[in-house]
């Protein structure tokens, strides 16, 4: 099958080429998928897209005209896809539902440990010959209460890690996980989790009900000085409300691997340019904020699994007319 890969970085090409069976011909393109770049898929049977590619109605209408029959996402999240439009045009959408929940869960822990012990600041100080400890005071994680919103694959892996560190884990999920309950995880209402968490970590998908789940009203119900971590999707957090929370001290630490307006920012080297997004720029001024550029998934194990499942989706679609992990309109993301 001819497959056009959008938004290709060298690492994407490396892992996808290694996983591609010889029956597929991959064309690697650097541009992100937008209504303007969709034309580049002309002649392809399948398109491979990532989290900030726009698989919207305009793009899908264009694909339909070119004969594209499958969009194989090399991601778990699919909030960037118009599934109803895909159905309308008869274009199949496939994702990689689970590749390495541990990769994201471990990155979440990395943000927590760095923020808690101010490792990001200590690193900069030591490089300057400043070995003073003022401002670096942390707290023990053992015995603290960690709130987990969403205990699917990643949230469950994260909850297990935090139980292993001796934390109390309070979780909120419409579908509780019996295995986690057996590990001592307490399922509570969202409000109860907000009220008890010393560290609140978001692992639910971005859906209409979860958009801006973290806002001025929910921040007001959190423990003063809470550590807030988002490695899920940026849109779950109302960033200006979080900035107000940081300024007032309501939020004591903030760790982000995702940002609502990350498209066009994350995954690019913009070090020679001015950052035009004032909200994002403000976030970077706080010493108690640590932002990584959507790298939670970025391990060798996860990239290998993503590439293999993406290729398996394309191969199954070519051979049977159905991808292994096909999404249908109405799937709740
Ligand atoms: P999953 O589908 O296994 O789990 C999501 C869980 O959230 C489910 O248990 C669901 O019941 C729960 N949920 C849905 N609505 C909720 C709500 N209103 N409140 C509380 N819980 C709710 O998904 P998985 O694989 O664990 O991924 C979670 C999210 O992590 C993805 O949707 C994606 O946005 C993000 N992600 C981020 C990555 C990164 O590199 N930072 C990489 C992969 C995924």
pLDDT at 134: 97
pLDDT at 332 over 70: no
Q: What's the CA gap between 202 and 169, in Å, rounded? A: 13
Residues assigned a catalytic role: 233, 262, 294
Binding site membership of 150 for ligand 1 (Cβ less than 6 Å): yes
Cα 76 to middle of ligand 1, angstroms: 9
pLDDT score recorded for residue 77: 85
- CB-CB contact of 300 with 308 (8 Å): no
Mean pLDDT of the chain: 96
Q: For ligand 1, is residue 325 a contact (CB within 6 Å)? A: no
Over residues 50-66, the mean pLDDT reads: 96
Query: Strand pairing partners for 286?
Result: none
What is the Cα–Cα distance from 203 to 155, expressed in whole angstroms?
5
Ligand 1, pocket-test mutation among 73, 103, 154, 229, most atoms within 8 A of CB: 154
Q: Which CATH number fits the domain that encloses residue 31?
A: 3.40.50.720
Closest residue CA from atom 35 of ligand 1: 232
Q: Could you identify the residue written with the tokens 């403000």?
A: 282
Ligand 1 mutation target, pool 73, 173, 190, 297, most atoms within 8 A of CB: 173
- 254 with 115, same domain? yes
pLDDT of residue 306: 97
Residues 93 and 157 in one domain: no
Residue 333 has pLDDT above 60, yes or no: no
SS (H, E, C) 150-191: CCCHHHHHHHHHHHHCCCEEEEECCCCCHHHHHCCCEECCHH
And the tokens for 313? 């989706």
Q: Cα(294)–Cα(50) distance, rounded to whole angstroms?
A: 12
Q: Are residues 88 and 148 in the same domain?
A: no
Question: Which pair of structure tokens corresponds to residue 131?
Answer: 């070995």
Q: Taking residues 145-153, report their average pLDDT.
A: 98
DSSP SS3 for 12: helix
Number of the ligand 1 atom closest to the C-alpha atom of 333: 32
| Tokens found for residue 262 | 């990350």
Q: Are 231 and 146 in the same domain?
A: yes
Same domain flag for 66 and 142: no
Residue 107 has pLDDT above 80, yes or no: yes
- Alpha carbon of 161 to ligand 1 centroid (Å): 17
Tens digit of pLDDT for each residue in 6-22?
999 999 999 999 999 99
> Across the chain, which distance is largest between two alpha carbons, in Å?
64
Residues 86 and 190 in one domain: no
- Which DSSP string do the residues of 202-258 spell out, in sequence order? E-S---GGGTT-BSHHHHHTSPTTEEEEE-S-GGGB-HHHHHHHHHHTSEEEEEES-
DSSP per residue over 110-126, as a string? Answer: HHHHHHHHTHHHHHHHH
Tell me: do 159 and 14 sit in the same domain. no
**Among 205, 303, 310, which is best to mutate for testing ligand 1, by the most ligand atoms less than 8 A from CB?**
205
Cβ of 330 less than 6 Å from ligand 1 = no
Nearest CA to ligand 1 atom 30: 232
- Section 143-155 average pLDDT: 98
Cβ of 294 below 6 Å from ligand 1 = yes
Q: Which pLDDT value is given to residue 83?
A: 97
The strand pairing partners of 16, in sequence order, are none
Q: Is 155 in the pocket of ligand 1 (CB under 6 A)?
A: yes
54 lines ligand 1 (CB under 6 A): no
Q: What percent of the chain has pLDDT over 90?
A: 95
Cβ–Cβ < 8 Å for 229, 203: no
What's the domain range around 56? 2-99+300-327
Q: Is residue 193 part of a domain?
A: yes
Shared domain check, 208 and 165: yes
DSSP-derived letter for residue 24 is -
Does the reported pTM lie above 0.85? yes
At 216-257, the pLDDT tens digits run 999 999 999 999 999 999 999 999 999 999 999 999 999 999
Give the pLDDT of residue 13.
98
Looking at the fold, whether 147 and 157 belong to one and the same domain comes out as yes
Neighbours of 184 (CB within 10 A): 10
**β-pair type (70-73, 145-149):** unpaired
Residue 251 inside a domain? The answer is yes
Give strand pairing partners of 214.
237
Residue 214 lies in a domain: yes
Domain tally, the chain: 2
Residue 332 maps to a domain: no
Measured from the CB, is residue 154 less than 6 Å from ligand 1?
Answer: yes
Based on the fold, state whether residues 174 and 42 are members of the same structural domain.
no
CB of 156 within 8 A of CB of 180?
yes
For residue 329, the model assigns a pLDDT of: 75
Co-location of 156 and 305 in the same domain: no
Mean pLDDT confidence for 300-310: 97
Asked whether residue 333 is domain-assigned, the answer is: no
Distance 66 CA to ligand 1 centre (A): 33
Residues 76 and 160 both lie in one domain: no
Atom of ligand 1 nearest to the CA of 210: 18
Tokens of 213: 């789940």
Ligand 1 contacts CB of residue 252 (under 6 A): no
Give 1 Cα–ligand 1 centroid separation in angstroms.
Answer: 31
Please say if the pLDDT value at position 58 is more than 60: yes
DSSP for residue 33:
P
Query: Which pLDDT does position 264 carry in this prediction?
Result: 85
């Amino acid at each position: 099958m001819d497959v056009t890969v959008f938004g290709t970085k060298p690492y994407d090409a490396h892992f996808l080429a290694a996983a591609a069976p010889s029956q597929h011909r991959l064309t690697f393109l650097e541009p992100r998928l937008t209504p303007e770049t969709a034309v580049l898929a002309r002649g392809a049977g399948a398109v491979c897209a990532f989290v900030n590619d726009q698989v919207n109605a305009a793009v899908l209408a264009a694909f339909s005209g070119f004969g594209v029959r499958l969009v194989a996402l090399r991601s778990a999240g699919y909030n960037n896809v118009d599934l109803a439009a895909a159905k309308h045009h008869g274009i199949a959408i496939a994702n990689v539902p689970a590749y390495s929940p541990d990769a994201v869960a471990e990155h979440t822990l990395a943000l927590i440990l760095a923020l808690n012990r101010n490792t990001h600041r200590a690193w900069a100080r030591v490089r300057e010959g400043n070995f003073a400890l003022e401002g670096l005071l942390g707290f023990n994680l053992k015995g603290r209460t960690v709130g987990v919103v969403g205990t699917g694959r990643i949230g469950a892996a994260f909850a297990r890690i935090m139980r292993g560190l001796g934390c109390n884990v309070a979780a909120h999920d419409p579908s509780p996980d019996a295995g986690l309950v057996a590990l001592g995880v307490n399922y509570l209402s969202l409000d109860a989790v907000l009220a008890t968490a010393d560290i609140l970590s978001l692992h639910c998908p971005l859906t209409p009900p979860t958009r801006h789940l973290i806002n001025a009203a929910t921040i007001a119900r959190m423990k003063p000085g809470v550590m807030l971590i988002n490695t899920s999707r940026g849109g779950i957090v109302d960033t200006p409300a979080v900035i107000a929370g940081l300024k007032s001290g309501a939020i004591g630490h903030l760790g982000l691997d995702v940002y609502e307006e990350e498209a066009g920012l994350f995954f690019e080297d913009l070090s020679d340019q001015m950052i035009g997004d004032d909200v994002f720029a403000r976030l970077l001024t706080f010493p108690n904020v640590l932002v990584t550029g959507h790298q939670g998934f970025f391990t060798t194990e996860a990239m290998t699994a993503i590439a293999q499942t993406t290729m398996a989706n394309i191969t199954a679609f070519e051979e049977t007319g159905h991808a292994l992990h096909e999404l249908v309109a109405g799937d709740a993301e």
